[in-house]
Amino acid sequence: MAVDVSLDGRAALVTGGASGIGRAAALRLAEAGARVAVMDLDEPRGLETVDLIRAVGGDAVLIVGDVSRDNEAKSAVNAVVEQFGRLDVLCNNAGIIRRRTVLTLTEEDWDRVMAVNVKSIFLMSRAAIPAMRGTAGRGSIINTGSGWGITGGADAVVYCASKAAVVNMTRAMAIDHGPEGIRVNAVSPGDTDTGMLRQEAHELGQAWADFESGSKERPLARLGQPRDIADAVLFLASDLSAWVTGANLVVDGGGLAG
């Protein structure tokens, strides 16, 4: 007997949807039947994501905006409700990384990473929750954390700090908004083959082949693919996780297992 994972009739907003995990999540939600708004500052690549969704028969729009600005977060949510008539799923995926220690990190970089990785979740969720209550009567918020929100990593102090904040914000939001029928969960990927990961290798002055080879040390012996994370997002967006909230789903090929 097949298990039907359907998001038919639902509307989703995915931040950072122009590439990597965000693009894969937007496409996966659309494949399950959701109408998807892709939010990103990168208009050309955002349009590519929209085209990919439409190519599989999905309904998608692009919202060009900065998730770290309150007025743009509100405008994005309003645009989704205007376009689709409701908002059921918010995937807070937008994120950036700076590979630095406290001695080499600039104050500007600290502020920007915290704005994109943490403040954006506050702003986007603050805009989305009333819309979820008003148009859907329920909702699922999925925040992108990281394995480095659970354990520390070298040369990544602000990224580790930001993702630890994401994981605990998720728990606090789940407590606050569970009585309203809004579930809040996090997905914490391990190393996943995205442009951001390749940027990390470049920042550290490492050849991509050498950087990638570290993936063989984890139990499943491979680098993650964006689709691996997108499948976890779909689970948390769907009714298969109807009694799951406040959870942090680690998707890392077993990297944190031991």
Whichever domain contains 149, its CATH number is 3.40.50.720
What is the residue type of 61?
A: V
**Is 5 a domain residue?**
no
CA-based nearest residue to 45, from 199, 162, 194: 194
In a domain, 3, yes or no: no
Q: Could you give the CA distance from residue 202 to residue 176 in angstroms, rounded to a whole number?
A: 40
Tell me if 107 sits within 8 A of 98, measured CB to CB.
Answer: no
User: How many other C-beta atoms are found inside a 10 Å radius of the C-beta of residue 40?
Assistant: 27
Residue 2 located in a structural domain: no
For the chain, what is the domain count? 1
200 is a domain residue = yes
34 part of the active site: no
Confidence band (pLDDT; 50, 70, 90) for 231?
Answer: very high
Q: Is residue 27 part of a domain?
A: yes
Q: What is the pLDDT of residue 170?
A: 98
Annotated catalytic residue, options 159, 173, 186, 200: 159
- What does the pLDDT average to over 67-74? 98
**Cα–Cα distance for residue pair 157/138, rounded to 1 Å:** 36
pLDDT of 199: 79
Q: Percentage of residues in the chain with pLDDT exceeding 70?
A: 98
pTM: 0.95
Q: What is the mean pLDDT of residues 161-184?
A: 98
DSSP helix/strand/coil, 252: coil
Q: Is residue 257 part of a domain?
A: no
| pLDDT above 90: percentage of residues in the chain | 86
The partner residues of 137 in beta bridges, in order of sequence, read none
Query: Is 80 exceeded by the pLDDT of residue 90?
Result: yes
* Range of the structural domain that residue 213 is part of: 11-251
Burial of 79 (0-12, 13-18, 19+ CB in 10 A): middle
pLDDT recorded at residue 200:
78
